[in-house]
Amino acid sequence: MGTVVLGTGSCLPERILTNVELESIVDTSDEWIQSRTGIAARRIGGKGEKTYQLAAKAAERALEAAGVMADEIDLVIVATLTSHMLMPSTACFVQDEIGAKNAFAYDLNAACSGFLFGFDAADKYIQADHSKKILVIGVETLSSRLNWKDRNTCILFGDGAGAVVVGYSESERGLLKSDFGSDGSLWELLCMYGPQSLNPDLEIENHPGSHVLMGGREVFKHAVRAMEDAVHGVLDKEGIGLDSVDLVIPHQANIRILNKLVERLSIPQEKLFINVSKYGNTSAASIPIALDEANNKGLISVGDTVLFCAFGGGFTWGAVLIKW
């Protein structure tokens, strides 16, 4: 008995930016990017593909898959750090765009962990009122916030959106356990100053622009350790081992982080869903995009135990375990 996924959807921008094209933008190579990150291409949002537009399209597809009408939705939660405006929220734009006129709507920012934080919040609402139906969306247009002269960061990220409709089921299915953490003391290792940083009263002098800034090696170490701990945490809470998990859908950061995680946790490769080569790191959107793809490929059956884990700026991290 619990919060189940009624439908999934995703939306990727049309434009594909390959590593080979990136070679003419920064001093890099397809070989370097593929060997260090496993990324071959990423999508870049364009006209008609603003953050809320990608999110709304993913939401409409999730609604259709769920057989739920937009006006049946009670709440829209959007996880993003790349809203096209600071106010109103992307969630409010989505609510209007899809016609979810009975829903309230808000954004949350937990960087790459945002979708899992939102999924968990939706579960809490549904546990409190079983009649609720909620849209949880992860969406990013990070291409608009990258420094395209910085080869350390611009090769890593991509744009896209993924969404789920969740509701209550009396069956044995549902969200089983979640385990989250944050450490604000390490914020500088992965951050993005916003336009508000231009206000000198905020005492941020000589701020380095509004782009993604990252200490790659440090992020790598923390990401592996935190996701490993979160996976152990959620499995311990449920009292099961990884052998009881049918599919692991991790945040698609880059292949070397995922390989390290797999090695530390001894996860068999066939239990791991990876699509980072096609889309790069889409931050809050990466898990719902991967979930939609795995679902559409028929890789998840009713009753399967599915594990999600994520790590992102903040730092934030977490793992969620569900019975599909």
Q: Check binding of 156 to ligand ACO (CB under 6 A).
A: yes
Using the rule CB under 6 A, give the single segment among 31-39, 46-54, 77-85, 167-175 that binds ligand ACO.
31-39
Which is closer to ligand ACO, CB of 93 or CB of 115?
Answer: 115
Q: List C-alpha distances in Å: 75 to 104, 106, 175, 246, 324.
A: 5, 8, 18, 30, 22
| Least distance CB 67 / ligand ACO (angstroms) | 33
Contact 156, 283 (CB under 8 A): no
Tokens of 146: 């990258």
DSSP state of 60: H
Which is closer to ligand ACO, CB of 36 or CB of 145?
Answer: 36
Nearest-CA neighbor of 88 among 104, 67, 72, 73?
104
| Least distance CB 150 / ligand ACO (angstroms) | 9
By CB under 6 A, name the one of 16, 32, 225, 242 that touches ligand ACO.
32
Tell me how far apart the alpha carbons of residues 38 and 156 are, in angstroms, rounded to a whole number: 10
Using the rule CB under 6 A, give the single segment among 57-65, 210-218, 262-270, 288-296 that binds ligand ACO.
210-218
For residue 161, give the 3-state DSSP assignment.
Answer: strand
Tokens of 239: 């009292």
Residues with catalytic function: 112, 251, 281
Tokens of 277: 């080569």
190-192 and 159-169 beta bridge pairing: unpaired
Q: Check binding of 219 to ligand ACO (CB under 6 A).
A: yes
Q: Check binding of 284 to ligand ACO (CB under 6 A).
A: no
Using the rule CB under 6 A, give the single segment among 98-106, 117-125, 252-260, 297-305 that binds ligand ACO.
252-260
Which is closer to ligand ACO, CB of 63 or CB of 139?
Answer: 139
Q: Check binding of 151 to ligand ACO (CB under 6 A).
A: yes
Q: Check binding of 282 to ligand ACO (CB under 6 A).
A: no
Nearest-CA neighbor of 311 among 239, 260, 267?
260
134-141 and 159-169 beta bridge pairing: antiparallel
By CB under 6 A, name the one of 102, 144, 152, 259 that touches ligand ACO.
152
CA angle 248, 217, 51 (to 5 degrees): 60
Tell me how far apart the alpha carbons of residues 90 and 85 are, in angstroms, rounded to a whole number: 8
| Least distance CB 311 / ligand ACO (angstroms) | 4
What's the number of CA atoms in the CB half-sphere (13 Å) around residue 155? 28
By CB under 6 A, name the one of 254, 295, 305, 316 that touches ligand ACO.
254
- Per-residue contact string for residues 49-78; x = within reach of ligand ACO by CB under 6 A: ------------------------------
Cα dihedral 241/247/252/253 (nearest 10): 20
Which is closer to ligand ACO, CB of 113 or CB of 178?
Answer: 113
| Least distance CB 268 / ligand ACO (angstroms) | 22
Residues that bind ligand ACO (CB under 6 A): 28, 32-33, 36-37, 112, 151-152, 155-156, 190, 214, 216-217, 219-220, 223, 251, 253-254, 256-257, 281, 311-312
